[in-house]
């Protein structure tokens, strides 16, 4: 049995926040006995500890120093070039039966999987330090908040988790000493960062995650996709709430009337930009504030849906971020930020494709090679990331720490579609909205390994994140309706529709406020709309397009429903439902029949 007392490393008073909870101690002891680390480091999340870990990381080239005048308290990390995105093909849901994982997840038998992973973890931390990270997901006083412990042999993971979660003593206290308390066990080891030994495994029944062979955020910050979404969605169904891949934003009128909106978009489709939107000049006095940019946990209270952001920071896609596209993100990442896989300029600044200004004449690219504007390779990886505390966001909502959450007026489902899907439309009702979410599709992005730009069905943007049978997930969404007396309206948006010339029809970014305003008007029952076969569409004068330089023809194209495209779309809905092998609830199959019938009217 390993001695749990920290060894000489680190200096005294750092890395010694051991909880009193015996079940946590037993589990840590079990993993230490298996992985045989040199030291055990109990993270307390303090500034002192963070400074110590940054200094160590700089010494060991885990981090690269940046010009502290240009980007104070910020550092750069370069990942292994074979390890730059989520790996859906190596992500498993290990429920007792394959049916429980359902048709959209890779399944593997729990007993065999534990045996395989234990084999891989055996002695895996030899010569390394094993960090134990206590953290909570959610505001400290929220009934939805969950406790997790992540064991990792990566300092980069610790530094990221300190930004992305509320870490340390707060979690130890919340857990207390009750042996039956609910908490998530997360084990991560880099092993040798070999794609052949890369597995991200979830055991929902055991509230356990084991991730090996990767150092990429989405695979190893176990609080995020693994706990807050995959295990979270499983717990949510069991406990009667929703864990969703959604941003949460507040929108306040000049008169001070405020609504909150939750919006699901697949990875790298602009959730962070939307959550930090700055309204254009024409909307003077309107304010958009951010509650969260990636994950919403929602519960029904008094017939309304309330949402919290379980996270404490943003792990956002860097390329394309600029003062033009997202000034609030630029301000957020101008200090106290960890950059991963962006380029390093000769004066120690960070650079990426799409940043304001001219490209540098010379830089070191994300792989560590010389780069000039003539290079064929990108300077920053398309999925390069920033990790930044939410407190850096100038547009942070004042109720972000409110344990009860914020009341949701509208739910938006959005995808990246070059054709077919109009700029915005509203579902007829909750069930129709669930159908809309269940059939949404998007062109794939660099956030996951594999082809980019391929249209795939991504129900509720949860295809890679739903931790149980997708048919049961749809049913759970349908069932929530029975508890809602003041239910959010449901909408679809598509910022990415293109004209025949292949150019985007809609300017996007801050101008999305015009669409948001129509959505708010609809929630207040003041906005006009025309009935169409797919839902309520804004009529020619219902969207406020004043002072926007856009051709009327573009607007017509953005809002048009091309019957031929929709016949193909509806056929694809059927193919998608059929591919799920009989798990789709009857109500959604009926919704499809009704959609077909409406096109015939
Ligand atoms: C993310 C993702 O990192 O969805 O948020 O991949
Ligand atoms: Mn995401």
Atom in ligand 1 nearest the alpha carbon of residue 245: 4
Q: Kindly give the distance from the C-alpha atom of residue 294 to the centroid of ligand 2, in angstroms, as a whole number.
A: 5
466 among known catalytic residues: no
Residues 287-315: pLDDT tens digits?
999 999 999 999 999 999 999 999 999 99
Name the residue at shortest CA distance from atom 3 of ligand 1.
Answer: 218
Residue 60 CA to residue 408 CA, distance in Å, equals 46
Share of the chain above pLDDT 90, in %: 93
Judge if the beta carbon of residue 146 lies within 6 A of ligand 1: no
Say yes or no: CB of residue 86 within 6 Å of ligand 1.
yes
Sign of the torsion formed by the C-alpha atoms of 46, 184, 220 and 198: positive
pLDDT of residue 8: 42
Q: State the pLDDT at residue 448.
A: 83
Whether ligand 1 lies within 6 angstroms of the CB of 294 is answered as yes
Nearest CA to ligand 1 atom 1: 267
Alpha helix (H) ranges present in 402-537? 430-438, 470-480, 513-523
Ligand 1 pocket test target in 84, 216, 229, 268 with most atoms within 8 Å of CB: 268
Quick one: average pLDDT of 321-348? 98
Q: What is the pLDDT of residues 512-548, one digit of tens each?
A: 999 999 999 999 999 999 999 999 999 989 999 999 9
CA-angle at 474, arms to 470 and 475, nearest 5°: 115
Q: Mean pLDDT of all residues in the chain?
A: 95
Cα(539)–Cα(558) distance, integer angstroms: 12
Q: In this model, does residue 1 exceed pLDDT 80?
A: no
Instruction: For residue 387, report the distance from its CA to the centre of ligand 2, in Å.
Output: 13
Give whole-number Cα distances, 558 to 247, 265, 561, in Å: 24, 19, 9
Report CA 446 to chain centroid distance, whole Å. 14
User: Is the pLDDT assigned to residue 252 strictly greater than 60?
Assistant: yes
Question: pLDDT band for position 389 (50/70/90)?
Answer: very high
Whole-angstrom distance, CA of residue 69 vs CA of residue 55: 18
315 lines ligand 1 (CB under 6 A): yes
From 220, 222, 225, give the residue whose CB has the most ligand 1 atoms within 8 Å, as the site to mutate. Answer: 225
The pTM for the full model equals 0.96
């Amino acid at each position: 049995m390993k001695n749990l007392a920290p060894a000489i490393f680190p200096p005294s008073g750092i890395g010694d926040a051991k909880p009193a909870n015996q079940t946590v101690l037993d589990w840590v002891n079990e993993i230490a006995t298996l992985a045989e680390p040199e030291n055990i480091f109990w993270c307390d999340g303090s500034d002192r500890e963070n400074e110590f870990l940054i200094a160590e990381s700089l010494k060991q080239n885990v981090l690269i120093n940046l010009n502290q005048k240009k980007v104070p308290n910020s550092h750069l990390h370069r990942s292994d070039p074979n390890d730059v995105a989520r790996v859906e093909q190596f992500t498993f849901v290990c429920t007792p039966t394959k049916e429980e994982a359902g048709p959209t997840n890779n399944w593997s038998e729990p007993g065999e999987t534990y045996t395989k992973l234990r084999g891989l973890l055996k002695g895996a931390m030899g010569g390394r330090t094993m960090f134990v990270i206590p953290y909570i997901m959610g505001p400290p006083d929220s009934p939805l908040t969950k406790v997790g412990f992540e064991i990792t042999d990566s300092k980069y993971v610790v530094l990221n988790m300190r930004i992305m979660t509320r870490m340390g003593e707060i979690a130890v206290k919340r857990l207390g000493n009750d042996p039956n308390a609910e908490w998530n066990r997360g084990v991560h080891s880099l092993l040798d960062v070999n794609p052949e030994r890369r597995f991200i495994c979830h055991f929902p029944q055991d509230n356990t995650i084991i991730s090996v062979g990767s150092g990429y955020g989405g695979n190893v910050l176990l609080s995020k996709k693994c706990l807050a979404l995959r295990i979270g969605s499983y717990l949510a169904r069991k406990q009667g709430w929703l864990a969703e891949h959604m941003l949460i934003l507040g929108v306040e009128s000049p008169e001070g009337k405020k609504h909150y909106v939750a919006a699901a978009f697949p990875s790298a489709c602009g959730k962070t930009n939307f959550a930090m939107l700055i309204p254009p000049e024409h909307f003077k006095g309107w304010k958009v504030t951010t509650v969260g940019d990636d994950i919403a946990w929602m519960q029904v209270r008094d017939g309304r849906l309330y949402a919290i952001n379980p996270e404490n920071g943003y792990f956002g896609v860097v390329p394309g971020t600029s003062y033009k596209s997202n000034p609030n993100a630029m301000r957020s990442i101008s200090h106290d930020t960890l950059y991963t896989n962006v380029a390093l300029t000769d004066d120690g600044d960070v650079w990426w494709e799409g940043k304001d200004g001219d490209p540098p004449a010379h830089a070191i690219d994300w792989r560590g090679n010389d780069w000039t504007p003539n290079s064929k390779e990108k300077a920053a990886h398309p999925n390069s990331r920033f990790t930044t505390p939410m407190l850096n966001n100038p547009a942070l909502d004042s109720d972000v720490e409110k344990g009860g959450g914020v009341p949701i007026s509208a739910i938006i489902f959005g995808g990246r579609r070059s054709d077919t899907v109009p700029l915005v439309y509203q579902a007829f009702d909750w069930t129709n909205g669930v159908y809309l979410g269940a059939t949404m599709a998007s062109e794939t992005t660099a956030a996951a390994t594999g082809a980019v730009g391929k249209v795939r069905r991504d129900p509720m943007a949860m295809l890679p994140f739903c931790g149980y049978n997708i048919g049961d997930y749809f049913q759970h969404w349908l069932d929530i309706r029975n508890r809602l007396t003041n239910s959010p309206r449901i909408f679809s948006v598509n910022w990415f529709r293109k004209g025949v010339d292949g150019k985007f029809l809609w300017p996007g970014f801050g101008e999305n406020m015009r669409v948001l305003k129509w959505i708010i008007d609809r929630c207040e029952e003041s906005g006009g709309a025309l009935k169409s076969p797919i839902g309520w569409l804004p009529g020619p004068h219902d969207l406020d397009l004043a002072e926007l330089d856009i051709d009327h023809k573009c607007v017509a194209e953005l809002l048009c429903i091309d019957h031929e495209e929709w016949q193909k779309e509806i056929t694809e809905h059927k193919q998608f439902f059929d591919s799920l092998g009989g798990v789709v609830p009857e109500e959604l199959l009926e919704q499809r029949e009704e959609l077909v019938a409406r096109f015939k009217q």
